[in-house]
Homo-oligomer: A and B are copies of this chain.
Amino acid sequence: MGRPPAIATLGELLVEFVREGRGGGHGEGGVYAGPFPSGAPAIFIDQAARAGARTAIAGAVGRDAFGAVVLGRLEAAGVDVSLVERDPALPTGIAFVSYDAAGAREFVYTIAASAAPRFPHGHEVAAAFLRMGVGVVHVTGSSLGDGGMRARLLATLDALEGRGVRLSFDPNLRPELMAEAAAGEAVRRLLGRAAFVLPSEADAAALFPHEPFEVWAPRLLGQGAEAVAFKRGAAGASLWVRGAAGPVHAPPLPVREADPTGAGDCFGGTLVARLVLGDAPEEALRLAAAAGALAVTRVGPMEGNSDLDALRRAAAGA
């Protein structure tokens, strides 16, 4: 048996600034921590690398201090960044996040006007992924709102069609980024093609209204998915794999939440990495739930990402 396939992703590379305190919007002066390396695909792939997978990412940053922040972090985790462009003319994308009194997030993004959507063209990325031995490509819905990014991303997936590369898809629906109808259509299309499907509660409520996990998960498995996870935040997580009579569950880990951003991506990166590396579904789910729990304990979207030893210790303590 050969080495496990590599996991790759593509999409927005960002820095993020996190507003301190709750209840203040971006429309008045405050205090922000940052720049933190961010972007849902970056968080996912950083965590997949830390969980033991061979990884790569395609995307673009500006030739500025913020681009160096993102690339430096991914390189430190061992992610192959040779497919990350350094745009000479555009700044690195920036996200500002604040939390209202109820904990709901409010974003200001510069993605569309930044380097982020200008990553290498689809066929180049697809060819490079195949050379690298990529067996799973992960896509997050947050990358589908920008028209230019969506087009490049779908072109890459089309170029990989029929080449034995499985799709991992986190719907990650962001109202701020998905104003266009074409974004919603892309979400439905990827949902129908994905081997790994990783929705949150909010995603499931939007995609499968009034249906329980026990209805939509087997339907997706019947349509070709291999593994369907359900991220329920503080209520834990579930995973249903093809051929199993029912789902396995992971209880929530008791953690103190400092910043929930990135938790879903850490869950997904760990789950896909550990399944690709051959863990049993129960074990992969336990480690993924631990990764999601640890992610929320630190301010900054990627600051709570964890190595495999830390995941195993946290999962054992749950």
Contact = CB atoms under 8 A, between A and B. Distances in A.
Contacts of A26: 35, 64-66, 69
B68 A27 contact: yes
A242 B31 CA distance: 47
A205 interface: no
A260 interface: no
B25 A35 contact: no
A301 to B, nearest CB: 12
B25 A29 contact: no
Given A110-B110, A113-B91, A33 B27 contact: no
A90 B90 CA distance: 13
Contact of A64 (B28, B36, B108): B108
Interface of A: 17, 25-36, 64-66, 68-69, 72, 89-91, 94, 106, 108-110, 112-114, 300
List of 6 A-B pairs having minimum Cβ-Cβ separation, nearest first: A26-B65, A113-B113, A27-B65, A91-B110, A32-B32, A27-B68
Given A31-B31, A110-B110, 14 more contacts: A17-B17, A25-B65, A26-B64, A26-B66, A28-B69, A29-B33, A29-B35, A30-B33, A32-B33, A32-B34, A65-B108, A66-B108, A94-B94, A113-B114
